[in-house]
Amino acid sequence: MGTAYKSAGDEALEELPDDAVRSFRSGFHGDVLRPSDEGYDDARAIWNGMIDKYPALVARCSGVVDVVTAVTFAREHGLELAVRSGGHNVAGTAVCDGGLVVDLSAMNGVRVDRDAGTVRAEGGATLGDVDRETQRLGLATALGAVSQTGIAGLTLNGGYGHLSRQYGLALDNLGSVEIVTADGQVRTASADRNEDLFWAVRGGGGNLGVVTGFEYVLHEVGPEVYAFFVWFHGDAAAAAMAAFEEWTETAPRDAGVLAFTAHVPELEEFPEETWGEPAVAFLGSARDDSAADGEVFESLRDVATPIADMSGPMAYADLQSMLDEDYPDGLRYYWKSIFLEELTDEVFDRMVRYNDSAPSALSTIDCWHLGDAVADVPQDATAFWHRDKPYMLTVEANWEDSDDDDANVSWAREVFADVQALPVASGRYGNFPGLNEDPAKLLYGDNYDRLVEVKTKYDPENLFRSNQNVAPRAGAK
């Protein structure tokens, strides 16, 4: 006689007292889904198709009180806790096996205060939610570059995007946060309230609590900017990367470029005879004085005859969503990043060589130009440490079939290990963490010990550990 399959979620739920679960569900304003409930499989699915986890409960919060209720229930019953905002963290930290998911998806309200020059967004909002409200007034805050990304994970781990070199990281634009800590208390953290907590959440990821509200400073951006998007055949890689390095040395703050190696996609924007060929490309934007006609990018555009040039004036909101279709829900992803002190021939060689050997034509190797406004902030001003690095290299393994998981993850790790061995490479970036297999200390450098102290104060039992975990000091209560 066969035995019915039980998932980690089923088994964990059976261990919970029935009356406790009933009480939790009856006092919850949103929906609480169990493994047997309709909609559970959709609720546990996240952006990265590699992640297949079965929580005991998914708590779809309708407001801050629901978050408090969920955090308290998880703490009292010893459940692992995961927090879902946009669900886009590549490591899959938005869901857990056998635990409780605090799902903020329905908490996505955004409100602009034009007089104060700020925007307040709930913890479940995406970049697109924020941009939609701010851009109707020609305003924006510094966020990422894919509109479907949740603001929470992006901001708490750093937040690079089109505006970073001009206005800093997403976390540098925070004025305050509302956060539910492990004891179930709702706190405001800012420069003059719970200052230690405010220092720690800016770079500390999900280690300190559930952030239910973000207040950002706004800047005049758009509604139209100049978008720079040019593709060259891989034969031009050496010339293109040399031009990129030279461009970054004098680039104005109101312009930015990402260089990457890839394969030409099978899209009508590209000549059919180039489909599948190795390529090198630039993606960037310019605003303010640099936006006129894209002249600031001419030295990059002139390195060779482009395969495709999709540059031109564009609504800022369209720029922010331009990459959305390249990163659909359910595709399989494994991304890792490392910072670079300078660009060298060895870096460029690895970008080209490993692009040629990628098992998936959807994968890319990206080189980000950082610095300027990000580097203006002292390294110890927030928990985010690697401000002094002018570049970051990201290995993006993207593929479709689960049978190809091992090949693609192995390729990405091989690229990463080779780059990591270079003397110019160091550190990690929390938003591209692989599967969180690396020590968290690599993110925080000399800020690590201070972060441990704040963690010990606000989460002594390490309730918030479904992340790149900073463990509290041993023996703390």
- Are 103 and 39 in contact, with CB atoms under 8 Å apart? no
User: Helix (H, G, I), strand (E, B), or coil: what is residue 279?
Assistant: strand
Q: How confident is the model at residue 477 (pLDDT cuts 50, 70, 90)?
A: low
**What pLDDT score was predicted for residue 474?**
86
Residue 132 identity: R
- Are 263 and 355 in contact, with CB atoms under 8 Å apart? yes
Closest CA to 467 of 137, 106, 111, 203: 203
Each residue's pLDDT tens digit, 27-86: 999 999 999 999 999 999 999 999 999 999 999 999 999 999 999 999 999 999 999 999
In angstroms, the CA 358 to CA 414 distance is 11
Is the pLDDT assigned to residue 104 strictly greater than 60?
Answer: yes
Alpha helix segments (H runs only) across 77-226:
127-135, 151-156, 164-167, 195-201
CB atoms within 10 A of CB 65: 15
**What pLDDT score was predicted for residue 3?**
53
Kindly provide the residue ranges of all beta strands, DSSP E only, lying in 147-293, ordered along the sequence.
Answer: 174-180, 186-190, 210-217, 219-220, 224-233, 255-263, 278-286
Each residue's pLDDT tens digit, 299-357: 999 999 999 999 999 999 999 999 999 999 999 999 999 999 999 999 999 999 999 99
pTM strictly above 0.75: yes
Q: How confident is the model at residue 294 (pLDDT cuts 50, 70, 90)?
A: confident
Q: How confident is the model at residue 384 (pLDDT cuts 50, 70, 90)?
A: very high
Please report where in the chains the tokens 């499989």 appear, as a residue: 41
Each residue's pLDDT tens digit, 462-476: 999 988 999 999 866
DSSP state of 150: B
Q: What share of the chain is helix, strand, coil (3-state, %, to 5)?
A: 35, 25, 40
How many Cα atoms within 13 Å fall on the side-chain side of residue 63?
Answer: 4
User: Helix (H, G, I), strand (E, B), or coil: what is residue 66?
Assistant: helix
- Taken in order of first residue, the domains within the chain and their CATH numbers are 9-103 (3.30.43.10), 110-220 (3.30.465.10), 224-426 (3.40.462.20)
Q: What is the DSSP string of 307-330?
A: SEE--EEEEHHHHHHTTGGGS-TT
Is the pLDDT assigned to residue 149 strictly greater than 70?
Answer: yes
